[in-house]
Amino acid sequence: MRILAIAAHPDDVEWQCGGTLALCKERGDEIIIAVATNGNVGTGDPLITREMIAATRHEEAKASAAILDAHLIWMDFDDEFLTDNRETRERFIDAIREARPDVMFIHSVLDHHPDHRLAGSIARDARIPASVPLVVTNFPPTAIPTVFEMDTELGNHFEPEFYVDVTRVMETKTAMLSSHKSQAAWMMHVFGTEFTENMLIQGRFRGAQACTQYAEGFKLLHDWPYTGDARLLPSK
């Protein structure tokens, strides 16, 4: 199968579905990671420009994707200012068409971050025009995939419908998130917490809910046209 995880920022996919992607890779799936913004405000260092941090974060995203031999789609929109307009929608449609996914992971619209909420809603909407021939972009139309919403950061406002036991691949998930080296100091600067630690706390909490050590939580998109098939999630 082909699996597309589409997210707002360079480290989002790793946190919310990195373990599930690792399990998908193990069962032989092709993994595609699409990142909407270039993370170009993700530093508190006054000597680092927007262009410099964007370039750093692109390299970090490539290093993370390389762990799963995943294809990276870098959309390069400005961090914190993702906007719902025609350009953004066409770029998302193109990312879905390029990926040709059987399964797509998207942000929950209940997430705390406006870029996350918008990336989630645009990806959800874009799955349909991505299948429409007269919507012309750089890639040909593709079938509408099964869509799962990813958990929110630290699980606020999100009640998972399905859990994936990611205990066995936590080392891979942690390595992927840790590829985003520039973000450890930045997260501490903005939120006063270490982001790998938060990922582990969330993984343990979802794991406890699912009667295992570490888990990731998802909701299936129940919408028309109904393409949902929860059996497409990997098992441990």
Binding footprint of Zn ion on the chain (CB under 5 A): 9, 12
Which of 93, 118 has the CB closer to Zn ion? Answer: 118
Region label for 101, one of left (φ > 0), alpha (ψ between -120 and 50) or beta (otherwise):
beta
Output the smallest distance, CB 63 to Zn ion, in A. 18
Q: Nearer to Zn ion by C-beta: 16 or 146?
A: 16
Which token pair is 62?
A: 């490539």
Taking Cα atoms as reference points, which of 105, 77, 81 lies closest to residue 2? 105
Q: How far apart are CA 64 and CA 29, in angstroms?
A: 17
Determine the Cα–Cα distance for residues 126 and 120; give it in Å rounded to an integer. Answer: 10
Residue 55 C-beta: closest distance to Zn ion, Å: 18
Q: Which is nearer to Zn ion, 41 or 52 (CB)?
A: 41
- CB-wise, 9 or 58, nearer to Zn ion? 9
Q: Give the C-alpha separation, 36 to 88, whole Å.
A: 9
CA angle 24, 203, 164 (to 5 degrees): 35
Give me the residue whose beta carbon is nearest to Zn ion: 9
CB of 57 or CB of 97, closer to Zn ion: 57
As measured in angstroms, the least distance from the Cβ of 193 to Zn ion is 14
Least distance from Zn ion to the Cβ atom of residue 142, Å:
26
Inter-residue contact 7 to 45 (CB < 8 Å): no
In the complex, the smallest distance separating the C-beta of residue 126 from Zn ion, rounded to whole angstroms, is 19
